[in-house]
Structure 1
Amino acid sequence: MWMQVFTLLLLWASRVTKTTADTRRQCTELLPLDLLSFVLERDTSRVVPGVQVKQSAGVKGVQFLSPDTSMSFPASQLLVNCDLFPKEFSIVATVKVNRITQKRDEYIFSLVGPTKAERSSVEDQEDVLGGKNEEFISEDEQRAKRNETKRDEKSGGIVLGLKLSRNGLHFVFKGHGKSTEHWSLKGIHLTPNQWHTLVVVIGLHHMKLIVDCNSPLEIVPSRAFPSDLILQGSRFHIGSRGRWKGLFSGLMRQLVLVSNSDASHQICPSSDPQLAALSVPPLLLDLPVRRRQNDRHATSFGTAGRLSVGLERPCSESLRGQLWFNPLKKGLYVCDGSAWITVLADNKRLDYVLEHQVLITSSETHDIEVFQIPGMGLMAAMAQRSSASGSAVYLWTHLGFQLYQNISTHGALAWKHFQIGKKAYLVVSNSGTGTNKSLDSEPDTDFSVIYKWSKRRKRFVRFQTLQTYCARDWEAFTINEQTYLAVANHRMGNNNHTINSVIYKWNRSTKSFEVHQTLITSGAYDWEYFRVGPYHFLVVANAFDGMTTSLDSVIYVWIDGRFQVFQKIKTFCATDWEMFQIGSRVFLVVANGHRLQGNGPSQYTINSTIYELDMSARLFVRFQDIVTYSAVDWEFFRLGEEYFLVVANSYNGESYSLNSILYRWQGYEGFVPVHWLPTIGCSDWEFFSSNGDSFLIYSSAKAPLSKVFKLKTY
């Protein structure tokens, strides 16, 4: 009976532990955390106890005199809204090392768990329930446990830390099973009494060290870094592990924690690699030279030529002429007495991609259109499948996209935003029967609707209805100050795919769109308008003719007021065209959905192709093939001087849960994959920017959700 009760207690404890672990949040999206500034700047009126500022080789650093509590703080004060230490991170430290004796270890920093006295009663209960019963522990084990308890009462155990010894650099952490693990880089050469900047990069399965921006040293340990290091009750100790033993004897100038990033990219290369800076405490920067009132030879810029380094710096009249280098933005600024003026600024570079928002929608979404409305800001129209709930327009706020307006649609497949003068419009592709259908209208006819933005009502209101046939896409463009709309009619009925798609022209007199030209298309899926020099082009994605997906998609050129055939390109269920330019080079990329010939099986894993315009031959020629999985969209965007393509992979023949892939332009190599983004039935990608930040949003045609990803740059 007693054993049954004991077993039930153990099972209950394991369930409690599992439930708790499932709700713990990983520390992920963090800015660089300046650990040294955090302790030195808490009271700017004096130097904190336990340290003194010293200068060596003209550079200031702090010397640790004792493991004072002022050099320690709870982890929760910096790592907020999360429970688990980051799985991947970097440490940037600038130190001057003394000669270390043979048996001495010196901690640059440590994260120490709570002492036994500090643990909560809940944790004590979990320890009792999850541990061994005293009756089943040997006498030796009990003696060892009592000794461990005495040590814990004085100081908690190491959660993780970085220490130096005579043999090398050691990263220590609490491993699986609560045993202490050591990842060591031995034989590194740190010249005593000289400054060195160390970047330690920790990943799940590797450790990398960069000293003074030189080539990295790397090890691949046999055991992975744990992803479940609990922060609760732990404290950071700077320059020690909270004890005299292990106190750092050298000087420290910089100590920064960077989550989810290799920080070496942010500080290297450097003109002064031994002092490469990410964030240096203001206390350790050179003091500005202030002009004396009676000094006639002093310049009007008393601080001219002085340079401060860090993430945030005030600009005031006393700092006029001061230079500031922001290592995160790699920008150089000068203070004009009130604000920082940019002298040099580095372009943004993509570092990594973070999930920013999961947007639950009323139904599956086929397309997203992101646009700006003056006086309102950034908005997004989503073409949603359900006719019952219709589609929605969202407004971008500091919380992400928020529902702004519902619009009645019927099997909506696409939205397009355009402007005529200062007036804004939206046109939707309806593919299902709606209430607008008249009794005497043609069978299998749909009605797509143009909406106009009302400044008074701050809503989109119905403006004009156009007859379409399972319209898959709208494209808006202007030629010679005339506005046009092109609709991609996909099919008439279930079998007739070779039909007319229509180009409409805006009639300024009647203030409505009228038919301008019709073009024969086969299961048209997308139109893309682009311009090269004085020439206007329109390319259609032909997807299916009723028998095969192996079709010619057609590029048209504008001649004498109408579009005429320019070039035909063989495609396979073409679903999207995207035009982009890199320098003077012009490209078109097609999204191929699948191969289907007669009654044979479909092939979903096929090449999508990038074509480049050959100016001399006046033709688009094949440039690069990229393997895709029933691709339905490409999105091109630029960050700084880097160029990217992201593909919407929707289906591989077995599953809709696939990685959609982000590619970066590598010049001669073309586009290479750099990020894999998990998606479900991905149907569209849109890139947008807000307040200096860059984002991607995707829609799902198989789940009632869309996701926003934030592009972290450096």
Structure 2
Amino acid sequence: TDLRPLDILSEVVPAGRLARGMRVFQAQGLRGFQLSASKPRALGFPASRLFIHCDRFPEEFSIIVTLRVLSIPTKRNEYIFTLMAEENPTVLLGLRYAPNKIHFLFWSQERASGWQTRVTFPNVSLSDNQWHTLILAVSGQSFSLTVDCSLPRDRVVETPFPTSLSVKRASFYLGNRRRRKGFFTGLLRQLVLLPGADATPRMCTTTDFKVAMLSVPTVLQDLPAKPASNEVLERPCGHSTEQQVPLRCPTWVLQVSPCPPCCVLPVKHKLDYVEEYQNLVTNSETMGIEVFTIPKVGLFAAAANRYTPPGSAIYKWAEGKFVPYQNIPTHQAQAWKYFTIGKKIFLAVANFEQNDKGQEFSVIYKWSHRKEKFIPYQRIPTHSARDWEAFVIEGEAFLAVVNHREGNNHNIDSVIYRWNARTGLFETNQTIPTSGAYDWEFFTIGPYSFLVVANTFNGTSTKIYSHIYIWLSGSFQLFQSILTFGAADWEVFHIGDRIFLAVANSHSYDSATPAPSNFYAINSSIYELNITAQMFVKFQDLLTYSALDWEFFSMGDDSFLVVANSFDGFTFSVNSIIYRF
């Protein structure tokens, strides 16, 4: 028998091209595939691609799996992989995980009309959000499971593994049995079939099972090591690669070499990969997170939770992680906003639905230094509030709420409130007509203050204008209107002396025009301020998929813009993209 490892995982990503429903995710320094249950068949391939010269599964073999399992319900089973006949739903062979158990399934055709045998390995606990490597060795009636190169668990069963299991017209399926039920929700890094041998001695030659690799897809292999802190880059001797002019270097940066002296320049810091650090268990579906620091108290995170009971939670950083600190009653909370006025500390929640008395309020909470928690301070009438924006103009504090709709009417006023230092309350300063608004974004350019609204839907169309306002003579006045398509977010950012404004367009819909082929695959746009024309002009279009948010950040000399894609018209499991300027 050919002892060449057969890499099942790599067959699903030939040439590194991810199948629909797959994405690469990194946790604890290792990459794995996260799978989507939307199209189980897309995560399969014919067995004939592995078994080229023979259509029989080997009698003796090992299966090597490196995976990271999430917590799953106590009665739920998840399939790591299956081998299934195309003409019927029979699982010819499969590996399945249940809480504290591993099940190996195989179809014995040597019995009358066939029979599925299940070999169970109990007391195998993997639901700890850690990486684990499993080695299953099969030979006749003997089955052995080794977890993380520990002592093997041996089982001998009455029904031996078949000597002639046909794989003709059969297919392998990754993380499923051709159905959504029982889909694998964790991460897969390695899935290898090694015919004719027990792979345990071959794999367990290192003390760290995480690096025990028999065959891992190229796209998942380890990242290149970071350059040492004193590592340098050499430019072509005597010339700059950027300007192609001689470099004039002080004597302390010259090096001895066979060619003329050249400059030795430090390596630029590049974007590192972000690793998963903590799973934060929230009360319900989380619509937004606000992270803030209260001086001399600590770091906090407020989660805007969708469901009214039990409300939304505030977490405090303690001993290297966020822990529950305070629970606040909310009503389909959409967002939190932290802000300060002098020494006063506030946290405002945008409630989307009415309370149990039929009243619709969003609430501002004030931090009590004596009680060391947030207490209700001021209730403000709102209408399906989506967001708050806090800002200061000429020393005065303002708070703007985004009202999305009132009943079925999306064309309503959003409100800007001004802080009254005498009464200690926010009072209405100005109302601005908005259409299904999602977001306010405040920014300044020199001495001027601006506020831009993301209008989403006017009742018949998402193809509507969003507006930029400028502060003049004590109120905001219209500065510029930009055509948007279900705008969900604005992000302002600076690169050097240049000023940009990016809009996240969520979908294109108009009841008066024919439906497009895809409502959600649509350009989001970046605009740049033209000082001469005194307006924002389009700089670049980027294809997005129901984009809901932009965030800008920089590292060293590099500038990045990340978009949150949410839906491509077929699945919510879509990649969000980081762009570099």
* Shorter-chain TM-score tier: 0.5 to 0.7
Q: Secondary structure at the match of 2:314?
A: strand
User: Contact conserved, 1:591 with 1:609, CA < 8 A, in 2?
Assistant: yes
> What is the DSSP-based 3-state SS (H/G/I as helix, E as strand, rest coil) of the residue aligned with 2:380?
strand
Which residues in structure 2 correspond to 1:55-134 (within 5 Å)? 122=152
Give the whole-Å Cα distance in 2 for the aligned partners of 1:403 and 1:468.
28
**1:654 lines up with 2:575 in the alignment:** no
Answer yes or no: is the 8 Å Cα contact 1:502–1:515 preserved in 2: yes
Q: Are 2:322 and 1:401 aligned?
A: yes
Matched, 1:620 2:536: yes
Change (3 A) 1:464 1:11: farther
Kept after mapping to 1: 8 A contact 2:488/2:547 = yes
Which residue number in structure 1 is paired with residue 387 of structure 2? 473
1:523-543, Cα deviation, whole Å (9 max, x unpaired): 111000000100000000011
Corresponding position: 1:561 with 2:469: no
Residues 201-250 of structure 1, C-alpha deviations (whole Å, 9 max, x = no match)? xxxxxxxxxxxxxxxxxxxxxxxxxx9997535369xxxxxxxxxxxxxx
Render the CA deviation track for 1:306-352: whole Å, top value 9, x for unaligned.
Answer: xxxxxxxxxxxxxxxxxxxxxxxxxxxxxxxxxxxxxx997642122
1:491 aligns with 2:405: yes
**Is 1:546 aligned with 2:459?**
yes
1:279-318 matches, within 5 Å, as: none
Letter of the 1:536 partner, please give it: S
Q: Displacement, 1:178?
A: 7.7
- Paired residue for 2:206? 234
- After superposition, where does 1:142-291 map in structure 2 within 5 Å? 177=194, 232-234=204-206, 260-263=222-225, 266=228, 269-270=232-233
Secondary structure at the counterpart of residue 422 of structure 2: coil
| Equivalent residue for 1:460, pick from 361, 374, 387 | 374
Q: Letter of the aligned partner of 1:528 in structure 2? A: E
- CA-CA distance at 1:472 after TM superposition: 1.0
Take 2:150 and 2:541, find their aligned partners in 1: how far apart are those partners? 59
Match of 1:631 among 537, 542, 547: 547
Is 1:450 aligned to 2:364, yes or no?
A: yes
Query: Contact (CA 8 Å) 2:233, 2:267: kept in 1 or not?
Result: no
- Structure with the greater alpha carbon radius of gyration: 1
- State the alpha-carbon separation in 1 of the partners of residues 346 and 284 from structure 2: 24
Q: Of 575, 590, 605, which aligns to 2:488?
A: 575
The yes-or-no answer on 1:585 pairing with 2:547 is no
One-letter code aligned to 1:263: A
Whether the 8 Å contact between 1:385 and 1:413 is mirrored in structure 2 is yes
2:67·2:131 contact (CA, 8 Å) conserved in 1? no
The whole-number CA distance in structure 2 between the counterparts of 1:121 and 1:429 is 54
Return the alpha-carbon distance in structure 1 between the equivalents of residues 434 and 419 of structure 2. 22
Equivalence for 1:642: 558
Counterpart secondary structure, 2:459? coil
Match of 1:391 among 300, 308, 312: 312
With normalisation by structure 2, the TM-score equals 0.59
- 2:279, 2:493 → 1: CA distance? 29
Amino acid at match of 1:386: Y
Equivalents in 2 of 1:12, 1:629: separation in Å?
Answer: 47
Distance of aligned partners of 1:570 and 1:23 in 2 relative to their CA distance in 1, 3 Å threshold: closer
Verify the 8 A CA contact 2:66 2:133 in the aligned structure 1. no
How far is 1:625 from its partner?
0.7
Question: Counterpart of 2:223 in 1: which secondary structure?
Answer: coil
Q: CA 1:477/1:272 → structure 2, altered by over 3 Å: closer, same or farther?
A: closer
Query: Is contact 2:58-2:196 (8 Å) kept?
Result: no
Q: Deviations over 1:140-175 (max 9, x none)?
A: xxxxxxxxxxxxxxxxxxxxxxxxxxxxxxxxxxx9
SS in structure 2 opposite 1:359?
coil
Q: Which residue does 1:505 correspond to in 2?
A: 418
Check whether the contact 1:13–1:130 (CA below 8 A) recurs between aligned residues: no
How big is the shift at 1:376? 2.8
Residue 376 (structure 1) aligned with residue 292 (structure 2): no
**What displacement does 1:605 show?**
0.5
Deviations 1:656-712 (A, max 9, x none): 1211112222xxxxxxxxxxxxxxxxxxxxxxxxxxxxxxxxxxxxxxxxxxxxxxx
Query: Which position in structure 1 is the counterpart of 2:352?
Result: 431
Report if aligned partners of 1:552, 1:568 keep a CA contact under 8 Å in 2: yes
Task: Provide the residue aligned with 2:332 in structure 1.
Answer: 411
Deviations 1:235-270 (A, max 9, x none): 69xxxxxxxxxxxxxxxxxxxxxx832237557644
- Cα gap change, 1:603 to 1:83, in 2 (>3 Å): closer
Give 1:640 shift. Answer: 2.4
SS at match of 1:380: strand
Structure 1 length as normaliser, TM-score? 0.48
CA offsets 1:16-47 (integer angstroms, 9 cap, x no match): x76x846679xxxxxxxxxxxxxxxxxxxxxx
Measured in 2, the distance between the counterparts of 1:491 and 1:24 equals 43
CA contact (8 A) 2:411 2:436 kept: yes
Q: Is the 1:437–1:447 contact (alpha carbons within 8 Å) kept by the matching residues of 2?
A: no
Partner Cα distance (1:395, 1:230) in 2: 46
Q: Identity of paired residues, percent?
A: 48
SS in 2 for 1:262: coil
CA distance in 1, matches of 2:150, 2:457: 66
- Cα deviation, residue 593, structure 1: 0.8
> Is the contact between residue 594 and residue 603 of structure 1 (CA under 8 Å) also seen in structure 2?
yes
Match of 2:139 in 1: none
Distance 2:423 2:60 in 1: 75
Report which of the two has the higher share of helix: 1
Whether the 8 Å contact between 2:59 and 2:196 is mirrored in structure 1 is: no
How far apart are 1:649 and its partner, in Å? 0.9
3-state SS of paired residue (1:354): coil
Instruction: Measure the CA separation in 2 of the matches of 1:380 and 1:663.
Output: 27
- SS of the counterpart of 2:577? strand
Is structure 2 residue 438 aligned with structure 1 residue 525? yes
Q: Which residue of 1 aligns with 2:260?
A: none
The letter of the residue matching 1:505 is R
Paired residues in the alignment total 382
Q: Which amino acid aligns with 2:379?
A: T
User: Structure 1 24/378 Cα, relative in aligned 2: closer, same or farther at 3 Å?
Assistant: closer
Single out whichever of 390-399 and 368-377 deviates more from structure 2: 390-399
CA contact (8 A) 1:580 1:586 kept: yes
Determine the C-alpha separation between the residues in 2 that align with 1:455 and 1:571. Answer: 44
Matched residue type, 2:403: N
Identify if the C-alpha distance between structure 1 residues 83 and 524 changes in structure 2 by more than 3 Å, giving closer, same or farther.
Answer: closer
Task: Give, in whole Å, the separation in 2 of the partners of 1:543 and 1:513.
Answer: 27
- Is the contact between residue 364 and residue 386 of structure 1 (CA under 8 Å) also seen in structure 2? yes
Contact in 2 for aligned 1:549/1:597 (Cα 8 Å): yes
Give 5+ residue unaligned stretches, structure 2: 1-56, 70-129, 135-148, 164-191, 209-220, 237-251, 253-264
- Residue identity opposite 1:512 in structure 2: L
